[in-house]
Amino acid sequence: MEKQEKKTKVSGVYLVLAALTVLFAVSLVFLHKTAYEGASHGNYTVTTQDKTDEITAPTRVVTLVNVNTATAEELETLTGIGPSLAQAIIDYRAEHGDFTAAEDLLNVKGIGEAKLEGFRAEITFTEEDGNENSGG
């Protein structure tokens, strides 16, 4: 009799496990179907709005620096010119007179072609009312 009870208990456990497995499978199918029906499947509309305010990059206003009259502070605003090069330009200018062309700056120790090209568009050799010798 004891063997019969064990078989019944084991059969009952298997039956419960089978029922839970079926319930789990049905739940998965139900959840999948619900999720699938709720999805848009690509049936959507995209609308765009015209932008009236365009984003533009800030424009850089370049004020030309007259290398013949500039102070060290003004020369330091040039691309690639620090305090020591600004002073070297002033010292060269004091010893040799005014610069007449951008290439004259190549005579200043520490200024080479690459450095000159970095600030060539930022310099002038005349007063602001005349543009004849700006930049080179």
Whether residue 118 sits in one domain with residue 80: yes
Q: What is the pLDDT of residue 44?
A: 65
Judge whether 104 lies within some domain: yes
pLDDT at 43: 65
> How far is 102 from 110, CA to CA, in rounded Å?
14
Does residue 76 lie within any of the structural domains?
yes
- Does the pLDDT of residue 131 top 60, yes or no? no
List pLDDT tens digits, range 3-48: 666 667 777 888 888 889 999 988 888 887 777 666 656 666 767 7
108 in a structural domain: yes
For the stretch 60-115, pLDDT in tens is 666 899 999 999 999 999 999 999 999 999 999 999 999 999 999 999 999 999 99
Largest distance between two CA atoms of the chain: 124
Give the CATH number of the domain where residue 98 resides: 1.10.150.320
CA 119/CA 80 separation, integer angstroms: 7
Is the separation of the CB atoms in 111 and 105 below 8 Å?
A: yes
| pLDDT confidence band for 132 (50 / 70 / 90) | very low
The dihedral built from the CA positions of residue 63, 69, 74 and 77, taken in this order, carries a sign that is positive
> Do residue 69 and residue 109 come from a single domain?
yes
Residue with tokens 């078989």: 7
DSSP state of 136: -
Give the total number of structural domains in the chain: 2
Q: Are residues 120 and 77 part of one domain? A: yes
**Model's pTM, two decimal places?**
0.52
Structure tokens at 3: 């063997």
Residue 98 is assigned to a structural domain of this protein: yes
Contact 78, 123 (CB under 8 A): yes
For residue 7, the enclosing domain spans 1-35
